[in-house]
Structures are given as C-alpha cells and as structure tokens.
Amino acid sequence: MPSYPSAVRLREVGLRDGFQNEPETVPTAEKARLAGMLADAGFRRIELTSFVRPDVIPQLADAEELLDAYEKRPGVAYSVLIPNERGLDRALARRERFDEINVFLSASETHNQRNVNRSIAESLAGLERVIGRARAEGLRCEGVISTSFGCPYEGEVPVDRVMGIAERLAEAGCEEVGFGDTTGMANPRQVGEFFAVARERLAGVELTAHFHNTRGQGLANVLAALEQGIDSFESAFGELGGCPVPPGSTGNIASEDLVSMLEEMGIATGIDLERLLEASRRVQEVLGRPLGAHVLTAGPVRWASATGRPAAST
C-alpha cells in the first residue's frame, strides 16, 4: 500500500480562479461574505482576487473594493494574484489587507503568448522583479506554472522545461511553486512521474498541485500526487472556474469533493465539510444555477451503521 501524507494544506481559489471565468460579475459584498464563510469552514489559505486589468477580466475589477470589504481573520493567509509590476503597485496600496502574492506564467510558449502576450523569457524577467519587490515588502510568494502537464496548442510540454521555470521562480524568491493542469490534460501516471522529478529537483520548495476536472481525472490526479508525498493542493468550491484560453476548459477540482475524499481516506484537511457546502450552496443562489461538485449534489458520505460500513445496496 502507498504511504500517504497524514494531513494536507489546501488553498481555496474559487473567489479568484473560479469567479474570473464565470459569465456573471458577483457583487463585492457577496465575495466578502463568501470569504468569511470559507474561513469559517476552516480554510487557512484563501486566494481573494487578482490585480489584472479591469477591462481584461471585469469579474475582478473590484479587487481594491474587495480587499477593503472582507473581514480579515487571524490565522488565515490571504493571497492575491499579481500579473506584473503595475498590478503589484495597485496591490501594495493595500498591503495590510493580504499576506501572500501568487505570480504566474505558462510552460507553453503559445499559451503564454495567448494568455499574457509575452514570451516565457519576458514573463520570467518581469516576474523576477515582482517577486523581489514583494519579498522586500515581507510578502510570501508562490509561483504558479500553467500548462505544466500539457498544452492544447503545443501538446506535450517537456518536464525539463517546467522544472527549469520552477527553479528560476524558486531562485527569485518563491517559497512555493504550484503546477497547474490548466486545461485538464494530465493523467495519474504522468502526475506521479512528474512529481517524482519535482521532489528531486526542487528540494526545500513547497510543491503544490493545481488540477482541473475538465476530463474527469482531477481526483485521480490528486491521488497520484499524494502517492509522491505532495501535501499541498489548490481547489475551488463548487467546482468553479476553468481557463479562458482556450474555450471548453471547465472547472477546477471541487473543494468539497477533494475534502470528502481526503477525509474518507483518513487524511486531515482541517475543513468542516458541512460549512464548506453552505458556502457552495450560497454560490449557487448567487449565480442562479447548479454547480458541478459531486458532493454538493449527493451530500457527504454518512455511514449507515456503527460498524463504519455503508448499507448494502443492489
């Protein structure tokens, strides 16, 4: 039997990565309320928003307003996504309202060009300046590498290229590097082999897995990462989100599905699943439609007897 971590760290990204891909613009007051509900559910890492150009992603045009509006809870690390130095300038005007920054680029040249209109080399040069300035402000930094497991335009992305980018981010000051399966192309065998290499080449760096459920393999990929000792994951309540480039890349793995699976496996998450489901139900009310999380529909597993076994069925 594989040896799994006894506990994991989860970052909830629905408020940013989820809402930026929704057709609706969620009111700032609702986002602030949901941030409180997620903290009440036990999340100790919450990504709030991104300081991208409002005309590019209007769903996140209220970044400053949200930072002013939400209730900052002790013991919770709040992060914001920073695309460039202009975004960092905006964020630093509210430095006391968040604890970490996330920076991002793609491991695929084509995806990076279509996403941020830069080459990988140009993105790395700019992000190194952002990371240096953020560290000088006492901020913790995560570098997120999109299309780490495959690109819809280029196909297979060489693992050595991904690791080289990760090493640059770590050298620039990122304490954590997240690997994104941005369009849901990863498979469990690939994930296991990938993180075996990552653990060897990035010793001392927190390695985080960010899977999408585009083709239904998200939780299977989590299991493969767990088998390699990965204990840090990102997910979105309700299975919100996706990737705006290209179309058809549906949501992140659902936080409630992830928490349910891990807790049933005896891996501690620190999350109160019932309270998390309350937050997801609230999102459904706000958006006016059902969301894709399985546990949101079926409910948590509840054993039918004191023996800890489910009732028989046919």
Distance between CA 222 and CA 258 in Å, rounded? 8
Total count of residues recorded for the chain: 314
Beta strand residue intervals within 107-231, DSSP E:
140-146, 176-180, 206-210
- Of 313 and 281, the one with more pLDDT: 281
pLDDT tens digits for 188-240? Answer: 999 999 999 999 999 999 999 999 998 999 999 999 999 999 999 999 999 99
The beta-strand segments (E) located in 54-189 are 77-81, 100-106, 140-146, 176-180
Phi-psi region of 57 (alpha: psi -120 to 50; beta: other; left: phi over 0): beta
- Active-site residues: which are they? 243
pLDDT at 279 over 60: yes
Amino acid 21: pLDDT:
87
Q: Please tell me which residue, 304 or 10, carries the higher pLDDT value.
A: 10
Helix, strand and coil percent figures for the chain, each rounded to 5: 45, 15, 40
Is 309 or 69 the better-scoring residue by pLDDT? 69
* Token couple for 219: 């939780």
The percentage of the chain sitting over the pLDDT mark of 90, rounded to a whole number, equals 88
pLDDT of residue 145: 98
pLDDT band (50, 70, 90) for residue 244: low
Q: Residue 241 and residue 299: Cα distance in Å, rounded?
A: 21
Domains of the chain in start order, with CATH, are: 9-298 (3.20.20.70)
* pLDDT tens per residue across span 109-162: 999 999 999 999 999 999 999 999 999 999 999 999 999 999 999 999 999 999
Task: Give the H or E element holding residue 92.
Answer: helix 85-92
Q: Is the separation of the CB atoms in 26 and 63 below 8 Å?
A: no
pLDDT averaged over every residue in the chain: 93
CB contact at 8 A, 46 and 34 = no
> Please, what is the angle between helix 188-201 and helix 218-227, to 10°?
40
Residue 248 banded pLDDT, cuts 50, 70, 90: low
Q: Who has greater pLDDT, 243 or 108?
A: 108
Tens of pLDDT, residues 34-43: 999 999 999 9
* Nearest of 230, 286, 289 to residue 258 by alpha carbon: 230
Burial class of residue 65 (count of CB atoms within 10 Å of its CB; 0-12, 13-18, 19+) = middle
